Amino acid sequence: MNNMFYNEEAKLLYERIITLNKNLMLDEESISLKKHIVINNGSLINTCNLVYGYKPFTEPPEPYCEDFAEMTARLIFHLNKGHCFADGNKRTTLLIIMELIKDAYPVFYNEFFRGSLANFLVEMLSESLEYKNILEWVYKQYDLRYDISNEEQSLLEIAVNYKKAGLYDKAKEIYTSLLHKYGSSSILYNGIAKVLACNGEYEEAIKMFESAIEIAENNNIYDFQSIYHKKMLEERKSIPKTEFFKYMKSVSENDNFQLK
C-alpha cells in the first residue's frame, strides 16, 4: 500500500485515522456497529495525500494546504463528508482534528473547541456547507496570536508523526533544528517533552514541560496541558504502573508503545 501514498507523512496520517475508527468501534461504551469497516478506502488515501501533497505543475512545488487551518479544514470537509467508514465518521473526524490540535496548538486543546467542532460537524452536513465555508469557520476558531510559519508547522507535524511511529531520535532532531532556527516556544518545549517522556527520559521531560509552562505564563496563558503532563511524570512512582502505562500510551498515541 506504501506506493499509494504521496509521502511517509500521508501514510502515517492514514494509519492514525484508521486506528482511531477501529478503537471507536471496539469501545464497549460507544454506540456503534462494533465492527471496523472501511467502505471508501480510496477516498481516505486521497484525503491524506491531499493534506501532505503538492499541486501538479507548480514550480517551486506549491502545497495544497498552505497552513494548519487549511489542513484541518480539508480533513473536516473530506472525512466528514466522504463517509470513509461504515460507522463513526463524525466521531473519527472529531478525534483526528483534536489530536492534531493537541500536537500543534495545545493552547486550543480544550472542551470548548471540542464542543464547537462537534456541533459544526453536524451543521456542515445538514446545511450542505462547501469547503470555503468550512475554511472560514476554521480560521475564525484559531487565535492568530499563536500562529507560526508554514515551514515550522510542516516540520512540527513531521516530528509528531515520528513520535507516533516510535522514532524518537528523528523527532528530537527536528525539534532541535526548530529551536535553533525559530527560538524557544511553549509549543516546541511541549513537543520535545512528550518525545523525551516516551523515550523514558522523564526528568528531562519534566524540565521541558516547566519551560513550556513558564513561557505560557509570560504570555498570560494557563497551559493546563503541560501542567497536567508535568504532574503525571512527577507522580509516576506513586501511581499504579498500569495507570501510568495507560497515560504514557495516550501521550505516544502508538498502540505498540512499551514503557522504557
Q: Are 21 and 120 members of one domain?
A: yes
In the structure, what pLDDT confidence band is assigned to residue 149 with cuts at 50, 70 and 90? Answer: low
Task: Answer yes or no: is 257 within a domain.
Answer: no
Q: What is the pLDDT of residues 53-70, one digit of tens each?
A: 888 888 877 888 888 888
Cβ within 8 Å of residue 96, ≥6 positions away: 16, 17, 20, 75, 79
Please tell me whether residues 157 and 103 are part of one structural domain.
no
Assess whether 245 and 123 both reside in one domain: no
The CATH number assigned to the domain holding 204 equals 1.25.40.10
In a domain, 131, yes or no: yes
Q: Are residues 243 and 177 in the same domain?
A: yes
**197 pLDDT more than 80:** yes
Question: What secondary structure does DSSP assign to 88-112, as a single string?
Answer: -HHHHHHHHHHHHHHHH-GGG-SHH
Q: Which of 32, 44, 29 is nearest to 87 (CA)?
A: 32
Helix/strand/coil for 38: strand
pLDDT for the residue numbered 246: 87
Together in a domain, 9 and 111: yes
Give this prediction's pTM.
0.57
Counting the structural domains of the chain, the total is: 2
57 backbone φψ class: left, alpha, beta (φ>0; ψ -120 to 50)? left
Q: Which of 18-32, 76-90, 106-120, 238-252 has the lowest mean pLDDT?
A: 106-120
Same domain for 244 and 128, yes or no, is no
Calculate mean pLDDT across residues 180-203. 89
Dump pLDDT digits (tens) for 16-53.
999 999 988 888 777 667 788 999 999 999 999 999 88
**Pair (103, 159) in one structural domain:** no
Q: Which residues pair with 63 in a beta bridge?
A: 54
Are 88 and 146 contacting, i.e. CB atoms less than 8 angstroms apart? Answer: no
Range of the domain at 222: 150-252
113 plus 89 within the same structural domain: yes
